[in-house]
Chains A and B, each alone.
Chain A
């Protein structure tokens, strides 16, 4: 098949994947960058970049979905680098959970999100990437492995250690808060 045919096939496949993967990729980016509005803008960048670079995609390499998540990873990392890790309200502290407007509940949820995102900063880059791809990107261990260039066994190990580490961090944080009498 010629390069042009492959590109055409690739663009058609991307159009199909958009409907299935847009939400997942947006969620993944939202957790990576900690901001919903930025995530939606960056997710559209992912699909535009994918169309523009479909010619460089190797059909016999990783699956197209995995390639999309790699682009999403790069887009998120570029964004964080550009914004110099500026602090923003976690997930905009809004619209995360649909429901009646309840300021007290929103403040509480916002604190919880902030606490969790802070705890996730205590994970290694690979652990954080594993958890984000698995829990928010909606990928299986094998698919996560394809994105991260690891086998699924390594991914399973990574998610297990990440959850244990996260739990330890959260427990330590709660103990500290209790000691401080908060």
Chain B
């Protein structure tokens, strides 16, 4: 028992001495009954720490942070390339464009029956909801411009927030985490379409005057880390190092997207805050997480707009 008491006292003193919160002498005064036995051990600990300790370089930390961010971007890009249908429709096999076309055929057939129109307001706990999501996916597959995809994802993000708010009001919170994941995916894809500096895609501002081959050229995953060597034209590489001023057309598109998103984020945040205030205590945490996801994406996207449109 005495040994246990000594080890506890030594442990406490080590914590204090190692954190420079107390001197060896000060700690020994706290435990006079162990002072004789403890003194040489604390001095040994102090010597070990002070002799072998060092301060890691800032450059090393910056490099580590960049490598970690690159790993996160790679992981995210891998996930984005995977099949992205919601869980209840997740299948493997046919290529995405084929499923999109098949869905469009289905949409045209069902369109006459009013099923598609009726599904557009359906909620996740209703039978027509799968049709609504299938139509959304088909529209995304058949949209070929970055701006078109970004606009669609912004609209679908609005829908996910409305669905979360409605389900929350009905007390059906169990579907909210899945919908939050879908919201996160829409917001990430807006970023990918407009500002893919951190993911392997092409930013809107580089679309001007690029050939089809150039469009397939990878851009750096993380600013500051060189992309793999390629035969891409010197003009494009120079463009990445020193961005050219945006053309009026791209500026207009960017500004329209920015306005659309600013309004959308404000409404989404307001809806979520209202849901949180009305939710049961047990559900508030889930909804707060959704709000956090939204806010983080909003901040990232808005900062990207500011940097993109800053005068050069």
CB distance from B4 to the nearest CB of A (A): 7
A-side interface residues, number (CB < 8 Å): 53
Interface of A is mostly: helix
> Is the CB of A22 closer than 8 A to any CB of chain B?
yes
> Is the CB of A102 closer than 8 A to any CB of chain B?
no
> Is the CB of B274 closer than 8 A to any CB of chain A?
no
Q: List 7 A-B contacts (CB under 8 A).
A: A36-B56, A47-B64, A48-B67, A52-B71, A95-B57, A135-B48, A156-B8
> Is the CB of A164 closer than 8 A to any CB of chain B?
yes
Residue numbers of B with Cβ under 8 A of A are 4, 6-8, 10-11, 14-15, 18, 40-41, 44-45, 47-49, 51-57, 60-61, 63-65, 67-68, 71-72, 75, 79, 87, 177-178, 180-181, 184
Per CB-CB distance, the 8 closest pairs between chain A and chain B, nearest first, are: A40-B60, A44-B64, A96-B54, A26-B56, A51-B71, A156-B7, A163-B41, A47-B68
**Whole-angstrom distance between the alpha carbons of A15 and B69 in the complex?**
9
CB distance from B178 to the nearest CB of A (A): 7
From A18, A31, A140, B65 is in contact (CB under 8 Å) with: A18
Q: Judge whether B45 and A97 touch: CB under 8 Å.
A: no
What chain B residues lie within 8 Å of A116 (beta carbons)?
47-48, 51-52
> Is the CB of A30 closer than 8 A to any CB of chain B?
yes
> Is the CB of A131 closer than 8 A to any CB of chain B?
yes
> Is the CB of A74 closer than 8 A to any CB of chain B?
no
> Is the CB of A134 closer than 8 A to any CB of chain B?
yes
**Whole-angstrom distance between the alpha carbons of A164 and B56 in the complex?**
29
Knowing A47-B64, A134-B18, A159-B14 are in contact, say whether A2-B181 is a contact too (CB < 8 A): yes
What chain A residues lie within 8 Å of B71 (beta carbons)?
47-48, 51-52
- Closest A residue to B54 using CB positions: A96
**Whole-angstrom distance between the alpha carbons of A25 and B65 in the complex?**
14
Q: Pick the interface stretch among A3-11, A58-66, A78-86, A172-180.
A: A3-11
From B14, B44, B56, B67, A167 is in contact (CB under 8 Å) with: B44
**Whole-angstrom distance between the alpha carbons of A136 and B310 in the complex?**
44
- Binary flags per residue of A102-132, CB closer than 8 Å to B gives 1, else 0: 0000000100110011001000000000010
